[in-house]
Structure 1
Amino acid sequence: MIRVTNELLGNWTEYTLTNDNGISVSVLDFGGIITKIMIPDKTGRLENIVLGYKNYQEYRTNPNYFGAIIGRVAGRIKEASFELDGSTYNLEANNGENHLHGGPGGFHQLIWKVSPFEKETEAGLKLTIKSHDGDSGYPGNLDVTVTYTLNDQDQLIIDYLATSDQTTPLTLTNHSYFNLSGNLKNTIHDHRVTMNSSKYVELDESLIPTGKLADVEGTPFDFRSGRSLSTGLENNFEQNKIVGNGYDHYFVLEDSSEFQAIIEDANSGRKMSVITNQPGMVMYTANALEDGLELAEGISRKHHGVCFETQGSPASLHNDHLPGILLKPGEPYQKQTTFTFTVIKR
């Protein structure tokens, strides 16, 4: 039987899902934040594989968006504005002149209503909020449900469901930073990533998409046959340098019934596969993560985690050839991302 437990933390509650194999996922009602994912290594030792604060009060500001649900729109919106049906909508600028991750009052800053559930082979948390017309400058009243499910197949499934009474941009994601070494023992340089993507979206020096879909062939962005993340963290390729030596780019994903991405850490033996019905994902290698933060398992360093933000492209608001993010009334937003945890057999 999968279990759900909870702990009251002042005005917040942390819920923990635990399966029959000892894997657990802990989530706050504040921001829907995943604070811990405990996974065994090749010796069976359980360790945390996501970044989170030691002092939970740090989540009140959470400038790195550790573990949070991001919305209404994940990513940057150029000049904090967009046009829709002949009208211009001005959003809150919180990243220079741009709008980032839903703005300062985004979903990562809200307390979600949580309804736990338990079944024989899975357990989960159904999180709901209502975002009102005009919130952060967005049109439409929006009802959102995000469901975290942990099952006995060692899968964490995140389901996103939303409806709106007006056409509005919407692309939700989770902003967990993964580090499969466990308990922050190492940076992510030696993590090996395989990804079903032949195109990525080029960025300018302000980290705003230029609109160009670049071919991965012959570049550090070609993960189709698998490569170490160090390839992009330690070279002079211009697109890696622009983001602070690493990746912060949108990869267009190709359909697959098996996986869109696989992440492996040979030292720990941990392996994580990602499958989603989203059209792409941002892979972010914590290039801007500052040194010296007191995290749950130690002190932070640059490149201490990697995010796999499955989503549509916010750049589609200004470049209509990119994967779109407009939700129309009467058309439910239904997206799913599944993370499967295994141990490498060698």
Structure 2
Amino acid sequence: MPLAAMAGQATSASFGHTADGQDVQIVTLTNSHGVRARVMSYGASLQSLWVPDRNGKLADVVLGYDTLQGYLDHRQYFGATVGRYANRIAHGKFTLDGKSYRLSLNEGPNSLHGGAKGFDMRVWKVLDVKAGAQPSVTMEYVSTDGDQGYPGTLTIKANYTLSDDNQLKISYLATTDKPTIVNLSNHTYWNLAGEGSGTVMDQALMIPGDAITPVSDAAAIPTGQMVPVAGTPYDFRMAKPIGRDIRDGSSQQLLFGHGYDMNWVLSRKEIEPHVVARAEDPQSGRVMTVWSGKPGLQFYSGNFLDGTTVGKDHHVYRQGDAFVLEPQLFPDTPNHPDFGSARLAPGQIYRNVIVYRFGIDHTGK
């Protein structure tokens, strides 16, 4: 087969405009097997990802909207890059180098995923689109000093690369001109049977974390403890269906979150990338393995999809129709010294590299 036929493709087109007239680009990355990812510059977001089942049939395994307007009208973090600080910061307050900062609040008394206008709501600049063996797109956003209350001008690059062995790699790099805090992650809603196909409660999940960071109430702020998962509904060290224990009414954490919405402790510090989760759909045979080096993984079971969201192809998304896996630092780390540090100083480079590897289990139906 000619080399040109084996090469991956990368194309860019306009996906629409924001209310203030900014053009939003959508970049389609396709490998030689027909696997394709669409990444839009609004929120540096994964808009769709088509991967094969055990019979070779492609399906889009990412929840979202067919048009830009859906994302503009409904802030649900579908596929988005979240930051400057992914997850929650209690009362939108933290202290860095002896100085106190107040962030914009957007979830009751707390700041979630960067505040009222996080990176998910920004139009990123498309720096580079590359075809070839590993088609990719690189986007950049510059968050100015004081943006949403955060100190320092932060320059962030997000790179999406699709390999010929059906891996999608997202690399986040950030630098700052003065000390700040950073925690970036991706917030894709996954359904390995295909978006709009219904519940993910029968899909099997493995998370190798031996503890969670429990929260004190429905506001989902960590208590500062690390509680072992052994003997609890949060034990996913051996793969099990997502829905097996989700209705355990004796679990206060499940009641707080209306299902799973908590941080798993994968390590006590940042380490080399390793498997942080493995999900499998027994019907289609699709398997997704997630790799990262971050110490925490937020697992959310789509609890607040309430049947009012009409997504792609007019599909209505209901509770439990997707799951989210966010490799990151622990929630509210700046207010819990025992959790480590989210500090980034000038001259340092923040990194979060997340790899999604897709395969097939041929032993099922």
TM-score range, shorter chain: over 0.9
Pair 1:233-2:246 in alignment: yes
What is the TM-score with the length of structure 2 in the denominator? Answer: 0.91
> Which one of the candidate residues 151, 162, 171 is aligned to 2:163?
151
- Contact kept, 8 Å, 2:143 with 2:154, in 1: the verdict is yes
The residue type paired with residue 3 of structure 1 is Q
Kindly indicate whether the alpha-carbon contact (under 8 Å) linking 1:271 and 1:342 is maintained by their aligned counterparts in 2.
yes
Question: What is residue 147 of structure 2 aligned with on the other side?
Answer: 135
Q: Deviations over 1:20-49 (max 9, x none)?
A: 111111011111111111011111111110
Matched residue, 1:181: 193
Which residue of 2 is the match for residue 338 of structure 1? 355
Identity %: 34
1:4 to 3, 7, 10: 10
Q: 1:223 maps to which residue?
A: 236
Report which stretch shifted further, 325-334 or 149-158. Answer: 325-334
CA distance in 2, matches of 1:201, 1:55: 37
Aligned positions of 1:194-343 closer than 5 A: 194-205=206-217, 206-236=219-249, 237-244=251-258, 246-254=259-267, 259-297=275-313, 298-343=315-360
Q: Normalised by the size of structure 1, how large is the TM-score?
A: 0.96
Structure 1's 226 and 2: CA in aligned 2 closer, same or farther, altered over 3 A? same
Secondary structure of the equivalent of 1:321? helix
Instruction: Tell me by how many angstroms 1:257 deviates.
Output: 6.4
Distance 1:32 1:179 in 2: 20
8 Å CA contact retained: 2:29, 2:136: yes
SS in 2 for 1:230: coil
Q: Please report the RMSD computed on the Cα atoms of aligned residues, expressed in angstroms.
A: 1.4
Q: What stretches of structure 2 of length at least 5 have no aligned partner?
A: 1-6, 18-23
Amino acid at match of 2:290: V
CA distance in 1 between counterparts of 2:201 and 2:279 reads 12
Contact 1:2/1:118 (CA < 8 Å) preserved in 2?
no
- Gaps of at least 5 residues in structure 1 are none
Conserved in 2, the CA contact under 8 Å of 1:54 and 1:294?
no
1:227 to partner: Cα distance: 1.2
How far apart in 1 are the matches of 2:312 and 2:176? 37
Which whole-Å CA distance do the structure 1 matches of 2:245 and 2:301 have between them?
A: 9
Matching residue of 2:37: 25
Structure-1 separation of matches of 2:340 and 2:327: 12
1:115 to partner: Cα distance: 2.8
Of 259-268 and 249-258, more deviation after overlay is shown by 249-258
Structure 1 letter corresponding to 2:252: E
Query: Which 4+ stretches in 1 moved above 6 angstroms?
Result: none
In the alignment, the residues of structure 1 paired with residue 237 and residue 209 of structure 2 have an alpha-carbon distance, to the nearest angstrom, of 6
